[in-house]
Amino acid sequence: MEPLDPDLPGRLATLRQEHRDLDVAIARLQADIAMDEMAVKRMKKRKLQLKDCIARMESALIPDEPA
C-alpha cells in the first residue's frame, strides 16, 4: 500500500471549497439576464473536473482492504 500524502486532506478541502464557490458563481450568472454563456460553460466544465478530482482524492484516503 502506498503511503498517503499528508497534504491530501488540505488539498481536498481546497478543491471542495472551489467547487462550492463555482456552484454559487454559476447560479449567480444564470440568474443574470445578460449572462455570459461561455463563462457559464467554462465554470461548469471546471466544476465537473473538480468533482472528478475530489472523488479520486477521497478514494485515495480510503485504505484498501485485503481480499
Give me the half-sphere count of Cα atoms (radius 13 Å) on the Cβ side of residue 55. Answer: 6
C-beta separation of 40 from 30 below 8 A? yes
Q: How confident is the model at residue 1 (pLDDT cuts 50, 70, 90)?
A: very low
Can you state the angle between helices 8-31 and 37-61, rounded to 10 degrees? Answer: 160
Return the domain boundaries, the chain: 8-59
Dihedral over alpha carbons 22, 25, 27, 28 (to 10 degrees): 180
pTM of the predicted protein model: 0.61
The span from the CA of 11 to the CA of 56, in Å, is: 12
Q: What is the mean pLDDT of residues 17-44?
A: 84
